[in-house]
């Protein structure tokens, strides 16, 4: 019994000693923790100032998106440096090599966890720096087509022509093909018009070209051209090509179709409907008509 009481007293004394040591260590670290907190707050303020300066300077020489992206990077690096100073003040026994090693292992784990986010961020940064397209450009990406409204570090926003807003991750844009329709101010359109086989091809070409030249927005410098593109089942197809600006492409095509149709009607040139020829063999027809169970047409 006495041995048990003695053991219990030893355990209690050890626990009290440990608690006293932790308490003394905590109060001993209070001044260092306060200094580290002040340093961290100052670094946050400095990071905000650096971010504003970077955004303002870069925006003067490049786009605002590049300035915002580089400002965020400068802000993050400054905060990271502040954390390193704070840890060094609280635990000066931890060397820089050990701290960077721990942070390196952590960054690898974070990189695997947020791989897609980091990929989109880096792709967005490269897009902002290289600037293959700008806000307001007309682009085609896969099944999406519309006007670029915003280029951020994570995604690119496109407003489609039916009014929908679509966010496309920058990683997909950077690794796949994208068509910038407004890269060149001029764009070529084309359309096939079918005429009857007995129609005069030369006359039809002249009529269509005269109508095309009257369409508003069609380039006079790069005049329209036409030629036979296909001998279809029921028509001779003529392909008309013309140039307009990207702003006039839609309205010019609507007007083009109407004026060409009216001109062909005025010239007496018909646009044939698809024809289908059915051939009935006489022998087969006789066998069917002579069957006793064949349906009889009523008057």
Instruction: Indicate if 189 and 299 belong to the same structural domain.
Output: yes
Instruction: Indicate if 169 and 201 belong to the same structural domain.
Output: no
pLDDT of residue 294: 47
pLDDT in tens, 143-194: 899 999 988 878 899 999 888 999 999 889 988 889 998 888 899 999 999 9
Which residue range(s) make up the domain with 145?
133-180
Bigger pLDDT: 236 vs 121 = 236
Q: How far apart are CA 164 and CA 162, in angstroms?
A: 6
Q: How many CB atoms lie within 10 A of CB 170?
A: 24
Which CATH number covers residue 244?
Answer: 3.30.70.100
Whether the predicted model's global pTM rises above the 0.85 cut = no
For residue 138, how far is the Cα from the chain centroid? 12
Instruction: Indicate if 215 and 108 belong to the same structural domain.
Output: no
Instruction: Indicate if 10 and 89 belong to the same structural domain.
Output: yes
pLDDT of residue 278: 72
Instruction: Indicate if 158 and 76 belong to the same structural domain.
Output: no
The answer to the question of residue 9 being in a domain is yes
Q: End of a domain among 63, 82, 113? A: 113
Q: How confident is the model at residue 19 (pLDDT cuts 50, 70, 90)?
A: low
The answer to the question of residue 237 being in a domain is yes
Q: How far apart are CA 238 and CA 37, in angstroms?
A: 78
Residues in the chain: 299
pLDDT in tens, 216-274: 999 989 999 999 999 988 899 999 999 999 889 999 999 999 999 999 999 999 888 77
Which CATH number covers residue 137?
Answer: 2.30.30.60
DSSP 150: E
pLDDT reading at 139 higher than 90: yes
Instruction: Indicate if 251 and 270 belong to the same structural domain.
Output: yes
The answer to the question of residue 118 being in a domain is no
pLDDT in tens, 279-298: 776 555 454 545 545 454 44
Instruction: Indicate if 159 and 52 belong to the same structural domain.
Output: no
Q: 119-149 in b/e burial notation, b at 16+ Cβ within 10 A?
A: bbbebbbebbeeeebeeebbbebeeebbbbe
Domain count for the chain, please give it: 3
pLDDT of residue 36: 76
């Amino acid at each position: 019994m006495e041995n048990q009481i003695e053991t219990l007293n030893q355990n209690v004394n050890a626990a009290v000693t440990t608690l006293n040591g932790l308490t003394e260590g905590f109060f001993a670290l209070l001044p260092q923790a306060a200094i580290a907190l002040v340093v961290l707050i100052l670094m946050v303020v400095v990071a905000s100032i650096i971010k504003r300066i970077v955004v303002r300077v870069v925006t003067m020489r490049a786009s605002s998106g590049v300035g915002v992206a580089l400002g965020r990077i400068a802000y993050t690096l400054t905060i990271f440096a502040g954390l390193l100073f704070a840890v060094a003040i609280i635990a000066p026994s931890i060397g820089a090599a050990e701290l960077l090693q721990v942070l390196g292992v952590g960054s690898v784990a974070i990189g695997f966890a947020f791989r897609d986010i980091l990929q989109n961020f880096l792709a967005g940064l490269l897009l902002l720096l290289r600037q293959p397209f700008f806000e307001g450009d007309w682009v085609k990406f896969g099944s999406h087509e519309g006007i670029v409204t915003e280029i951020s570090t994570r995604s690119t926003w496109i407003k489609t022509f039916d009014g929908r807003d679509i966010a496309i991750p920058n990683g997909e844009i950077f690794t796949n093909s994208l068509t910038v329709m407004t890269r060149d101010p001029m764009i070529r359109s084309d359309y096939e018009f079918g005429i009857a086989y007995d129609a005069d091809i030369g006359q039809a070409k002249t009529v269509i070209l005269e109508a095309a030249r009257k369409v508003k927005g069609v380039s006079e410098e790069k005049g329209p051209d036409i030629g036979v593109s296909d001998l279809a089942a029921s028509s001779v197809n003529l392909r008309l090509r013309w140039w307009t600006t990207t702003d006039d492409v839609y309205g010019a095509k609507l007007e083009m179709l109407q004026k060409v149709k009216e001109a062909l009607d005025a010239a007496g040139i018909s646009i044939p409907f698809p024809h289908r020829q059915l051939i009935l063999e006489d022998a087969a027809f006789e066998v069917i008509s002579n069957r006793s169970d064949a349906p009889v047409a009523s008057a």
